[in-house]
Chains A and B, each alone.
Chain A
Amino acid sequence: MGVFKKKDQPVYARPADASVSQAFKNGNIMTRLSFFIFGLGNIVNKQIVRGLILLALEIGYFAYLFSFGIGALGDFVTLGTVEQGQVYNEALGIYEYTAGDDSMLCLLYGVITLALTAAVIFVACMSGKSAYCTQFRKEKGLAVPSFTDDLKSLKEENLHAFLLAFPIIGILCFTVVPLIFMILIAFTSYDHEHQPPGNLFTWVGLENFQKMFSEGSKLAATFWPVLSWTLIWAVVATVSCYILGLLLALLINRKGTKAKGFWRFMFVLSVAVPQFVTLLSMRTIFNANGPVNVILREIGVIGMTESIPFFTNPLYAKITIICINIWIGVPFTMLSTTGILQNIPAELYEAAKIDGASAPTIFRKITLPYMLFVMTPNLITSFTGNINNFNVIFLLSGGGPDSMDYYYAGKTDLLVTWLYRLTITQKDYNLGAVIGILVFVILATVSLLTYRRTGSYKDEGAFQ
Chain B
Amino acid sequence: MRSKRFITNTICHILLAILSVIWVLPIFYVVLTSFRAESGSYKSYIWPRGFTLDNYINLFKGSSSLNFPKWFMNTLIIAIFSTVLSAFFVLCVSYVMSRLRFKMRKTFMNIALVLGMFPGFMSMIAVYYILKGLGLLETGVLKQVALVLVYSGGAGLGFYMAKGFFDTIPKTIDEAAYIDGATKWDTFIRITIPLSKPIITYTLITTFMAPWVDYIFAKVIMGNETSYYTIAIGLWTMLEQEFVEYYYTQFYAGCVIISIPIAILFLLTQKCYVEGVSGAVKG
Which A positions have Cβ atoms within 8 angstroms of B?
A: 2-7, 104-105, 108, 154-157, 159-160, 162-164, 166-168, 170-171, 173-179, 181-182, 248, 251-252, 254, 256-258, 263, 266-278, 280-285, 287, 289-291, 294-295, 297, 327, 331, 335, 339, 384, 388, 390-391, 394-395, 416, 419-420, 423-424, 429, 432-433, 436, 439-440, 443-444, 447-448, 451, 456, 460-461, 463-464
Chain B residues touching A, range: 35 or more
* Cβ of B27 under 8 Å from chain A: yes
Q: Do B258 and A274 have beta carbons less than 8 Å apart?
A: yes
Could you list 28 examples of A-B contacts with CB < 8 Å? A4-B180, A4-B183, A105-B129, A108-B129, A156-B184, A159-B100, A159-B183, A160-B102, A160-B105, A163-B93, A166-B92, A167-B93, A173-B130, A174-B154, A175-B153, A178-B130, A251-B12, A256-B8, A257-B13, A257-B16, A274-B262, A280-B251, A327-B26, A395-B215, A419-B121, A433-B122, A436-B122, A464-B169
Known: A256-B5, A432-B125. 17 other contacts (CB 8 A): A3-B190, A155-B186, A156-B184, A159-B185, A160-B96, A167-B89, A167-B156, A251-B15, A257-B12, A257-B13, A263-B16, A268-B267, A272-B259, A272-B267, A273-B259, A282-B26, A464-B170
| Chain A residue with the shortest CB-CB distance to B232 | A276
| CB-CB under 8 A for A419 and B119, given A173-B130, A258-B13, A444-B114 | yes
Residue of B157, B183, B248 contacting most chain A CB atoms (<10 Å): B183
| Chain A residue with the shortest CB-CB distance to B118 | A440
Residues of B within 8 A of A436 (CB): 118-119, 122
Which of B38-46, B51-59, B137-145 is found at the contact surface with chain A?
Answer: B38-46
- Complex Cα gap A464–B123 (Å): 37
* Cβ of B81 under 8 Å from chain A: no
Q: Do A280 and B236 have beta carbons less than 8 Å apart?
A: yes
CB 8 Å contact bits of B58-102 with A (1 = contact, 0 = none): 000000000000000000000000000000111011011000101
Residue of A283, A290, A291, A339 contacting most chain B CB atoms (<10 Å): A291
Q: Do A179 and B93 have beta carbons less than 8 Å apart?
A: no
Partner of B263, one of A182, A272, A429: A272
| Chain B residue with the shortest CB-CB distance to A180 | B126
- Complex Cα gap A291–B43 (Å): 8
Give B110-159 interface residues, CB cut-off 8 Å to A: 113-115, 117-127, 129-130, 133, 149-150, 152-157
Q: Do A294 and B185 have beta carbons less than 8 Å apart?
A: no
Residues of A within 8 A of B186 (CB): 4, 155
| Chain B residue with the shortest CB-CB distance to A290 | B42
Q: Do B153 and A272 have beta carbons less than 8 Å apart?
A: no
- Complex Cα gap A170–B115 (Å): 13
Residues of A within 8 A of B153 (CB): 170-171, 173-175
Main secondary structure of the interface of B (DSSP, over half): helix
Residues of B within 8 A of A174 (CB): 123, 127, 130, 149-150, 153-154
Q: Do A420 and B183 have beta carbons less than 8 Å apart?
A: no
| CB-CB under 8 A for A171 and B157, given A156-B183, A178-B130 | yes
Partner of B27, one of A108, A176, A269, A432: A269
Q: Do B258 and A277 have beta carbons less than 8 Å apart?
A: yes
Q: Do B255 and A280 have beta carbons less than 8 Å apart?
A: yes
Q: Do A182 and B123 have beta carbons less than 8 Å apart?
A: yes
Residues of A within 8 A of B115 (CB): 171, 175-176, 179
Q: Do B123 and A294 have beta carbons less than 8 Å apart?
A: no
| CB-CB under 8 A for A163 and B263, given A104-B129, A174-B154, A290-B42 | no
How near does chain A come to B211, taking the closest CB pair, in angstroms? 11
- Complex Cα gap A424–B23 (Å): 35
How near does chain B come to A386, taking the closest CB pair, in angstroms? 13
How near does chain A come to B129, taking the closest CB pair, in angstroms? 6
* Cβ of B235 under 8 Å from chain A: yes
Residues of B within 8 A of A177 (CB): 126, 130
| Chain A residue with the shortest CB-CB distance to B93 | A167
